Amino acid sequence: MLIYRFLSGEDDSAFCHKVTKALTEGWQLYGSPTYAYDAVTKKMRCGQAVTKTVSEQPYDPEKKLVDY
């Protein structure tokens, strides 16, 4: 089964660490990163989709994706 997550955050090193952590846990980058200005906070925000192939099992929307 292929599972999907979208990581987002302020454009800072914490966001880069979040993506790096996901990659070390077996997630793979999916598509291009996004970058947008948040007019409320007046800061740039980043986003990156990641996917991971896990063993076949029933999908459970109550289960955290990081627990697959």
Q: Is residue 52 assigned to a domain? A: yes
| Range(s) of the domain holding residue 18 | 2-56
Q: Is residue 63 assigned to a domain? A: no
Q: If 0-12 CB within 10 Å is exposed, 13-18 middle and 19+ buried, where does residue 64 land?
A: exposed
Sign of CA dihedral 49, 47, 61, 20: positive
| Tally of domains within the chain | 1
Q: Is residue 67 assigned to a domain? A: no
Q: Is residue 40 assigned to a domain? A: yes
Q: Is residue 29 assigned to a domain? A: yes
Q: Is residue 39 assigned to a domain? A: yes
Q: Which residue has the higher pLDDT, 68 or 2?
A: 2
pLDDT tens figures, 26-54: 999 999 999 999 999 999 999 999 999 99
pTM strictly above 0.95: no
Q: Is residue 35 assigned to a domain? A: yes
What are φ and ψ of residue 60, in 5° steps? -125, 105
Query: In this structure, what token pair is assigned to residue 59?
Result: 């999908």
